Amino acid sequence: MTAPSATLLGTVETPVAVVDLPTARANAARVVDYCRRHGLAWRPHVKTHKSLGIARMQLDAGATGLTVATLHEAEGMSRVCRDLLLAYPPVGSAKLERLVGLPEEVRLSVALDSPEVLYPLAQAVQGARKPIRVLVELDVGLGRVGIPDPGDAAHLAAEVEDLDGVSFGGLLFYAGHIRSPGPQRGPLIRALGAHLEEVYAALDARGLQAEVVSGGTTPTLWQSHEVPGLTEIRPGTCIYNDRSAVGQGAASADDCAYSVLATVVSTRIPGRAAVDAGSKALAKEPWDGVGFAVVREHPEVTAVALSEEHGVLDLADTDWRPRVGDRIHLVPNHVCVSVNLQDRFLAVDGEKVESWPIEGRGRMPAPPPPPFHSPE
**Domain 21-239, architecture per CATH:** Alpha-Beta Barrel (3.20)
Confidence check: pLDDT of 67 > 70:
yes
Burial class (CB within 10 angstroms; exposed 0-12, middle 13-18, buried 19+) of 32: buried
* 302 phi/psi in degrees, rounded to 5: -120, 155
Confidence check: pLDDT of 8 > 80:
no
Parts of the chain belonging to CATH 3.20.20.10 = 21-239
Domain 253-357 class in CATH = mainly beta
* DSSP code string of 9-54: HHHS-SSEEEEEHHHHHHHHHHHHHHHHHHT-EE--BTTTT--HHH
Q: Of how many residues is the chain composed?
A: 376
In our burial notation (b when 16+ CB lie closer than 10 A, e otherwise), range 105-143 reads: ebebbbbbbbeebbebbbebbeeebeebbbbbbbbbbee
| Non-local CB neighbours of 195 within 8 Å, separated by 6+ positions | 138, 140, 141, 150
**Could you give the dihedral angle defined by the CA atoms of residues 153, 155, 158 and 162, in that order, rounded to the nearest 10 degrees?**
-120
pLDDT tier, 372 (very low <50, low <70, confident <90, very high otherwise): very low
Query: Which residues sit opposite 314 in a β-bridge?
Result: 272, 302
Q: Can you tell me the distance from the alpha carbon of 308 to that of 196, in angstroms, rounded to the nearest whole number?
A: 44
pLDDT of residue 288: 76
Parts of the chain belonging to CATH 2.40.37.20 = 253-357
| Non-local CB neighbours of 73 within 8 Å, separated by 6+ positions | 46, 47, 50, 360
Mean pLDDT value across the chain: 94
The answer to whether the CB of 79 falls within 8 A of the CB of 268 is no
Angle between the N-to-C axes of helices 21-38 and 52-61, in degrees from 0 to 180, rounded to the nearest 10: 40
Confidence check: pLDDT of 4 > 60:
no
Query: At 226, is the secondary structure helix, strand, or coil?
Result: helix
pLDDT of residue 181: 73
Q: Can you tell me the distance from the alpha carbon of 291 to that of 312, in angstroms, rounded to the nearest whole number?
A: 9
Q: Can you tell me the distance from the alpha carbon of 348 to that of 258, in angstroms, rounded to the nearest whole number?
A: 10
What percent of the chain is helix, strand and coil (3-state, nearest 5)? 30, 25, 45
pLDDT of residue 108: 97
Region 16-27 average pLDDT: 98
**Greatest pairwise CA separation for the chain in angstroms:** 75
Confidence check: pLDDT of 367 > 80:
no
- Per-residue pLDDT reduced to its tens digit, 197-250: 999 999 999 999 999 999 999 999 999 999 999 999 999 999 999 999 999 999
Angle between the N-to-C axes of helices 93-100 and 115-125, in degrees from 0 to 180, rounded to the nearest 10: 50
The answer to whether the CB of 91 falls within 8 A of the CB of 112 is no
Confidence check: pLDDT of 308 > 80:
yes
Considering only residues 65 and 2, tell me which one the structure prediction assigns the higher pLDDT. 65
Query: At 57, is the secondary structure helix, strand, or coil?
Result: helix
Confidence check: pLDDT of 335 > 60:
yes
- Per-residue pLDDT reduced to its tens digit, 106-117: 999 999 999 999
